[in-house]
Structures are given as structure tokens and as C-alpha cells.
């Protein structure tokens, strides 16, 4: 019952939330392509260029809010954020070993990562709503010369 209420409030089921976090990881990976390339030293210029497929992440304004929420929650809850970042950002392969090293169970690791993702998604919706409200208020105020 409580889980149904939580999903209705947040609006995503577990599979959709997982896909959203995967999209966030790809979004993060592509942010560097909007900045000018770093200056290379002479040795780096002598190496053959790494050629790969260009990034293909969706340009979503909502991802900015999710990213802000993730960064804010990382400061507030380092244990859950570590699980979330290892699972989604770093794509850790051996979760069982990582959970053992953290002295928690494998399911606890996944629960922490999922709880963190839900909290980040919920916070991102709040951030977006607050930003939209401020933008609307600014639009409604008369311009004084």
C-alpha cells in the first residue's frame, strides 16, 4: 500500500527510475563535449587520437535538476550516495564484493541506491517546480524604468 502511494507521488516505477538514472549517467558523460577541449602538452599531441562514436544522450532540461539533486543529496547522505554512484555512475560490476567491503548485504546496497534515486528524483521535481514559480513571478512583475 505504502509503495503504491510512493510511486503515485513520484510518478516512476522501479524500471522507469532505473532507466532515468541510466539516462542521467549518459547525460553526465556528454557534458564535457560542450566545453572547449583542454590544451594538450607535446607528449599528448604525439599519441594517436582516440576515435569513437560521438555521445548520443538526450538533451533534457530535467536532467539538470536531477543532477543538482544528486549533488545536494551526496552532501546530505554519503552512505546512500556511495551506493547510488557506484551502481549508476561508475557502473560497478561486482556489487557483492563492494557490499561485503562496505559491510552491508547485497540487497541493502541496492535498496540504498534505489532510495537515493527516488529521493533525488523527488527533489529534482521540487527544484524544477520552484524554478518555474520564480520564472513565472519574474514574468508577472512589471518592469520599472
Give me the pLDDT at residue 32, please.
Answer: 65
Give the global pTM.
0.75
Q: How far is CA 103 from the centre of its chain?
A: 25
- C-alpha–C-alpha distance, residues 113 and 82, integer Å: 8
Is residue 114 within 8 Å of residue 14, measured between CB atoms? yes
Give me the pLDDT at residue 1, please.
Answer: 35
Is residue 86 within 8 Å of residue 92, measured between CB atoms? yes
Give me the pLDDT at residue 121, please.
Answer: 95
Domain parsing of the chain, residue ranges: 13-31+60-140
Contacts 24+ apart (CB under 8 A), 10-19: 10/118, 10/121, 10/122, 10/125, 11/125, 12/121, 14/114, 17/114, 17/117, 17/118, 17/121, 18/117
- Within 10 angstroms of residue 83's Cβ, the number of other Cβ atoms is 27
- C-alpha–C-alpha distance, residues 8 and 27, integer Å: 26
Give me the pLDDT at residue 59, please.
Answer: 73
Q: Which residues of the chain have pLDDT under 70?
A: 1-11, 32-40, 45, 49-57, 145
Give me the pLDDT at residue 41, please.
Answer: 72
Radius of gyration of the chain (CA): 20
Give me the pLDDT at residue 140, please.
Answer: 81
Amino acid at each position: 500500500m505504502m509503495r503504491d502511494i510512493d510511486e503515485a507521488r513520484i510518478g516512476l516505477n522501479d524500471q522507469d527510475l532505473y532507466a532515468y538514472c541510466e539516462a542521467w549517467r549518459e547525460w553526465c558523460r556528454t557534458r564535457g563535449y560542450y566545453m572547449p577541449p583542454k590544451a594538450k602538452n607535446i607528449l599528448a599531441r604525439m599519441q594517436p587520437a582516440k576515435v569513437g562514436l560521438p555521445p548520443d544522450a538526450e538533451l533534457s532540461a530535467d536532467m539538470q535538476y536531477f543532477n543538482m539533486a544528486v549533488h545536494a543529496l551526496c552532501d546530505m547522505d554519503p552512505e546512500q550516495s556511495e551506493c547510488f554512484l557506484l551502481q549508476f555512475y561508475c557502473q560497478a560490476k561486482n556489487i557483492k564484493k563492494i557490499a561485503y567491503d562496505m559491510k552491508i548485504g547485497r540487497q541493502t546496497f541496492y535498496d540504498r541506491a534505489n532510495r537515493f534515486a527516488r529521493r533525488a528524483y523527488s527533489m529534482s521535481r521540487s527544484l524544477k517546480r520552484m524554478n518555474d514559480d520564480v520564472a513565472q513571478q519574474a514574468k508577472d512583475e512589471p518592469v520599472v524604468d
